[in-house]
Structure 1
């Protein structure tokens, strides 16, 4: 949002709330991030540019910075492992389905207790006569608990005329399946269909294999009929892209990952308005150019990093330990030298009250001694008085992630996931995560005893 618009909203927000009879107070924020003692874990599974027979496993606390857990983590007894998709079943095990070959009528299944070490289960033959290609199976767990696989099938002699079909597990062991049911309205040549459900609506993201764009469709039933609402480059994803996979972020937004296979890159983009618009795509740090057609599973697990709330702390830079986050007289944030010999004013400038996040009580906000909050504005960090607006609350909320060193913390922007509080030329900013040691150090702080 540009500065004039944000300025107008900031000025009018409290007035509008008064006129509407809504008190402009900083009440308890709602929470969608996990509480203390728990953390979000995003597990990514993918095959790679170097091999279609090996599957790699990564995970992340923020859906942006992924760490390799094992690679290769699984090689099937024969054939390929393209397009691996995983979910966690009610029996506690993780199950994977995948494309077994470029041609044929089977999909593969494997199982794991820990997401890392996998055991082959079986290849399943899709009971449709004349199938020539069986591609990109994706798990979809419906709100009624049913376990489904969405798969792209064709009987054509070439890789054309794909349609999306649904298979539903008919036993809890996931060994028997219903007859394939076609998803009406998706076609006549769409592959890599990925579905999420919000409320009573099914949202399908699917590659048009003719135009090479990802399209968007909705339906009131899993099998349709779907209505294609968006075609062409409607979201700015570009062409010659495939393998869309979605996951919901901690702030309620949605992230889509997709394979820019012609350019050899891997992208993500975010939507915060129920799929209407999407952020400018960014490459997945450290993995773009290596992974292919990934799927990401979100879970809440024990762990994470926390900060003490309703207490005062100073934020010490990890890579410049003599410097601390401060607010200067211009109301902007920096990392400046602070020591025992510093003046009282300097010590106060480096001391903040850690509070439950204004936008999410399981994240954090930081208030200085003058009552102003650390917030970002055009991605620069400054300290402003709270104005009660939704925009301000989000700008002033940061979620804690593991820092570069033991005991340190990185603070991710709540409303711009993937951007972190970091210093650059000693100025504090919220910058897009970079897969470098320098960035990880610049964006890591240790919450220490307050200077004032």
Structure 2
């Protein structure tokens, strides 16, 4: 039986059992191509078999920056119950995009946040993510930037001489933002961080972007506070392939890490209960054609039905 009938049957069962108001459906925000057509969503019940919503059509078209791109869309449900999204607007702009929605259908005006405009030597603002801290009721937005002349110890000419580190700003209302600060310098060219609270501490999954000698893998770091300081990076948790764009799902006691095996042109997923021993489930993973990385979050069965 194909995925679509199975998904429809499960959705009917969810409604009959009264689960419509629970976070019972996983959604995956993603982009396709260069991000020129905007936000896409995929849905799953088990986190392993994903189906494009609305047959892969875009939910929101990019309007910001001369490039008008919507790459690396990261969506979370905030403390106010609304969905908040940040994304990469351009390969060369010094800011990022932001929009919010109560239902993933009707979106606010797209806002350009000039996170690195203060820095004359900044080259980019890539792969932003957003994490909500319920204790402080603050949102931390973080991204990777290369600032020419900074961190010369890891500067090389490969990969167009990009030499990223992670930076952050905080906000409570998406109107005023704290001063941009350095979030994490692990001692290597790093990008694509994603952070969530797990087992009582903040856990960061981050890509080691080192080209010489080649790394291009995912590692972990930990902190007691969302804005750090973070520990030294762990040994790689991914294998002998290039991985980027991680997103994390906590499910049934497991820590699932999904990532884009971009040189192999497909996604991968690994899981662990203790963040030490990892199981590769990539062969069981089914993803929509053309999917590029974004983030995983949960919605109710009723919210999913409204999207359709």
Which whole-Å CA distance do the structure 2 matches of 1:129 and 1:281 have between them? 42
Look up the SS of the partner of 2:112 in the other structure.
Answer: strand
C-alpha distance after superposition, 1:97-122 (max 9, x if no partner): 00001112010012223224434421
Match of 2:154 in 1: none
C-alpha distance after superposition, 1:212-263 (max 9, x if no partner): 11111112232333223423xx3344332100110111x1212111011111
> How is 1:336-355 mapped onto 2 (pairs within 5 angstroms)?
none
Offset of residue 168 of structure 1? 0.8
Q: 1:269 to 1:120 in 2, by over 3 A?
A: farther
Q: 1:117 to 1:59 in 2, by over 3 A?
A: farther
Which whole-Å CA distance do the structure 1 matches of 2:238 and 2:259 have between them? 12
Q: Which has the higher contact order (CA 8 A, sep 6+)?
A: 2
Q: 1:177 to 1:50 in 2, by over 3 A?
A: closer
| 2:252 is the alignment partner of 1:260 | no
Q: Which moved more, 1:294-303 or 1:69-78?
A: 294-303
Match of 2:278 in 1: 278
Match of 2:243 in 1: 241
Q: Are the aligned partners of 1:77 and 1:120 in contact in 2 as well (CA < 8 Å)?
A: no
Which whole-Å CA distance do the structure 2 matches of 1:276 and 1:143 have between them? 27
C-alpha distance after superposition, 1:323-344 (max 9, x if no partner): xxxxxxxxxxxxxxxxxxxxxx
C-alpha distance after superposition, 1:183-218 (max 9, x if no partner): 244344100011111244221111111121111111
Q: Are the aligned partners of 1:256 and 1:269 in contact in 2 as well (CA < 8 Å)?
A: yes
Q: Say which of 219, 230, 234 aligns to 1:230.
A: 234
Q: Are the aligned partners of 1:138 and 1:149 in contact in 2 as well (CA < 8 Å)?
A: yes
Q: Are the aligned partners of 1:53 and 1:82 in contact in 2 as well (CA < 8 Å)?
A: no
Select the structure of larger CA radius of gyration.
1
| 2:18 is the alignment partner of 1:37 | yes
Q: Which moved more, 1:68-77 or 1:277-286?
A: 277-286
Match of 2:157 in 1: none
Match of 2:138 in 1: 146
Provide TM-score, normalisation by structure 2.
0.77
What RMSD in Å do the two structures reach over aligned CA positions? 2.6
Q: Are the aligned partners of 1:246 and 1:256 in contact in 2 as well (CA < 8 Å)?
A: yes
Which whole-Å CA distance do the structure 2 matches of 1:117 and 1:101 have between them? 23
Q: Which moved more, 1:278-287 or 1:206-215?
A: 278-287
C-alpha distance after superposition, 1:290-322 (max 9, x if no partner): 111120012455699xxxxxxxxxxxxxxxxxx
Q: Are the aligned partners of 2:223 and 2:230 in contact in 1 as well (CA < 8 Å)?
A: yes
C-alpha distance after superposition, 1:36-93 (max 9, x if no partner): 5225121111001364442211222221222322421111114211100011223332
Provide TM-score, normalisation by structure 1.
0.54
Bigger fraction of residues in strand? 1
Residue segments in structure 2 that go unaligned for 5+ positions in a row: 1-16, 150-159
Match of 1:297 in 2: 297
Q: Are the aligned partners of 1:42 and 1:297 in contact in 2 as well (CA < 8 Å)?
A: yes
Q: 1:159 to 1:293 in 2, by over 3 A?
A: farther
Look up the SS of the partner of 2:249 in the other structure.
Answer: strand
Q: 1:282 to 1:199 in 2, by over 3 A?
A: closer
Q: Are the aligned partners of 1:149 and 1:168 in contact in 2 as well (CA < 8 Å)?
A: yes
